[in-house]
Chains A and B, each alone.
Chain A
Amino acid sequence: MIASSHSADQKVYEIAKLTNEVKELRSAFVDKRGQLMQLKKESFVEAEMKEKGIGISLNPPTKIIVKSQRQEQ
């Protein structure tokens, strides 16, 4: 009875610890994700690239799709 009560107590401590760890990891994830989103933003990339003289193109990229033809018999 006493032993099992103690082991239950231990589990509670363990759970508290793990819950904290989950919170920390989650917070780390959101933190990093936020940073990543800042870095990914076009306005940020534009500002970074300005030094190198690279700007946003005024014309869209052209995509060339090659249609294959069936072999003549």
Chain B
Amino acid sequence: MFVFALAVVFKLVSIQFVQGDKYRALADKRTVKDFDIPANRGNVYSADGSLLATSIPKYDIRIDAIQAKDATFEKYINDLADSLHVYKGKPASYYKNVIRRARKNKNRYFLLARNISYSDYIRMRNFPLLNLGAIKGGLIVEQTTRREHPMGGIAERTIGYERQDEDGNFTRPGIDGAFGVKYLQGTNGKRRKQRIGNGQWKPITDFDQVEPKDGYDVYTTIDVNIQDIAHHSLLKQLEIYQADHGCVVVMDVKTGEIKAISNLGRNKKGHYYERLNYAVGESHEPGSTFKVMALMAALEDKVIDTSTVVDTKKGRKRFYGRDITDSGNGFGEISAARALEVSSNIGLATIIDEHYSKQPEKFLTRLQAWGLNKTLGVAIIGEGKPDIPKPGAVNWSRNALPSMAYGYNLRMTPLQTLAFYNAIANDGELIKPRFLKSVKSFDKDIEVFEKEVLVEKICSNQTLNEIQDILKNVVIRGTGQRMYSETFSMAGKTGTARTDYANAEEWRKDRKYVSSFAGYFPADNPKYSCIVVIHKPSTKVGYYGADVTGPVFKRIAQKIYTDTPIIDEIEELDFNTKLVNEDFESYFVNAQKYKTLMPSVVGMPAMDAIALLENLQIDIKVRLTGSGVVKKQSIAKHQKLQTNQTIILEAS
């Protein structure tokens, strides 16, 4: 007995003093805990303040299938199944079966709906059985915070998100991704809390150990209306041409703000959705849209002028053992300007090869001065790198230069091409495309983004005017002719480039093209520049730039045209002048005064005189000779008039 008592005392002492610290710490841990106070992630807004991305709670609805009593369960199960049928579509009997089975299997955590919105949650909460709550009905609601895009799939890739995989790696596409850490995320706070009843925790101190800082709101330059049109017209063309993927970007000429950006790719089922940010990330051979840069370089170096004649032969010409061809049977001898209008590969290759083959550096220096060999440095992560080969590079050969003249053997992203076209529209000022207007915390500006000029002036005004004229003519009488509209003007350049052509034989069997259109509108005083690129349209339907991508460009141009009212100014007709007022007054006085006596109408306009006479209280006839102002009246003034008397007025 004593030995037992000794053992107990020994254990007591050992717990109290030897292991005491460990257990006290353990006890603290169970009742006191440091809580993270999550910072609210900022919102992403469009230019007009529409929400593009925000964090909202989403709900998972489950049911504890054995919580309800038998009687209650049987009473409501049919109604619940009916409600679920109306809500989710499968037959009521299906829901009845699965819930019954869950009850039989003692499933206390049966999923009814996942990731539903608040309004759906409210609706489900009122379903029979579920409306009895957790204790009687077995309703289990779990709430999670998710990033939502209220605009749906539109511009999803550009608005972006932040996602963490199991290994803790982040993927951060788009604006949300690019500015997540810097602006949107905020910093979590910390607060020490003590456990109280009901699974709740009470703060120990009345201050936070670390205050949470909410993320800032990011205002983008996206215009919801233009974005909507761009998205849907691109989608329509992709569907018509069963293309692999495509993108469209609309940029404000003066400020470089991206007004719309849409990237759509096809999945296995043939549906299109925002997959990758092709416009920013995908650098590819631009094809004919690059001819503009080539011709501009030649014009600016004054090695040619727009009227220099170039022989494009009959649609086929040999350069260093390789044929370059034009569509159709060639254009013969045409001017340099016309060569661009009709997008002659031979024309451009000839011009560039003739004047630069001995000094390719001169041509390349020009391209470098325009920044075409560098990324634009846009905020979105993963901008594609342009590749413009130099002599000595792996992809340099004698053929490189003529190839580059019409957009092959070099790579650029659609956004880089667009920035250059924008510079043409913006009188030579090359601006960096930007996606952000400002970063705000409530109403307070944290950071405001201004336009960023990359190159002050890309070329002389003369070259600019010449190239602007050519781009205008492309739509009027060149390869973009089919897009021409009488009501509004556009300027730009079509592009139809071969792609995946490494194996010539394979390519001939299954021809793959990249169709594009880059340009701006209106042609004079441009407001927006725009590029449309569609990859691998079905050649059965068509592949020329003007047909595939032109309509998207046109639709956007038209939308902006029809949204801008035509303003007509006219001068107000209803104005007061002294003379008119006096005339009116004297007429009124006469009309009041004369009832049966003849008034004096000499000096009055004939039409007033007739009106005055015919409105007398006595019926008379008035005959007028001539027109204008009354000169003479057949009856002197103040004479009494007889019924049916005829008065003759002479006017001149």
Contacts and interface: CB of A to CB of B under 8 A. Distances in A.
Interface of A: 8-9, 12-13, 16, 23-24, 26-28, 30-34, 37-38, 41-43, 56-69, 71-73
B54 interface: yes
Identify the 8 closest CB pairs spanning chains A and B, nearest first.
A34-B150, A27-B118, A63-B565, A43-B232, A30-B56, A27-B56, A68-B572, A72-B577
B200 A24 contact: no
Nearest to B58: A27
B207 to A, nearest CB: 14
Interface in B86-120: 117-119
Is chain B's interface secondary structure helix, strand, loop, or mixed overall?
mixed
Contacts of B577: 71-72
Given A28-B119, A30-B150, A72-B575, 13 more contacts: A12-B201, A24-B57, A28-B118, A30-B56, A31-B118, A32-B119, A34-B150, A37-B150, A42-B225, A42-B559, A60-B563, A66-B569, A66-B572
A62 B59 CA distance: 49
Given A27-B57, A67-B572, A8 B566 contact: no
Interface in B133-149: 143, 148
B565 A62 contact: yes
Contact of B558 (A37, A58, A62, A69): A58
A42 B229 contact: yes
A63 B570 contact: no
A45 B255 CA distance: 30
Contacts of A65: 567-570
Nearest to B232: A43
B26 interface: no
A32 B150 CA distance: 9
Given A41-B228, A65-B569, A66-B572, A30 B562 contact: no
Nearest to B46: A37
B200 A60 contact: no
Contact of A9 (B117, B196, B231, B562): B196
A54 to B, nearest CB: 14
B57 A23 contact: yes
Nearest to A32: B119
Contacts of B224: 37, 41
19 contacts: A9-B196, A12-B200, A13-B198, A13-B200, A24-B57, A30-B54, A31-B56, A34-B150, A43-B232, A57-B562, A60-B564, A63-B567, A67-B572, A68-B572, A68-B575, A69-B571, A72-B575, A72-B577, A73-B578
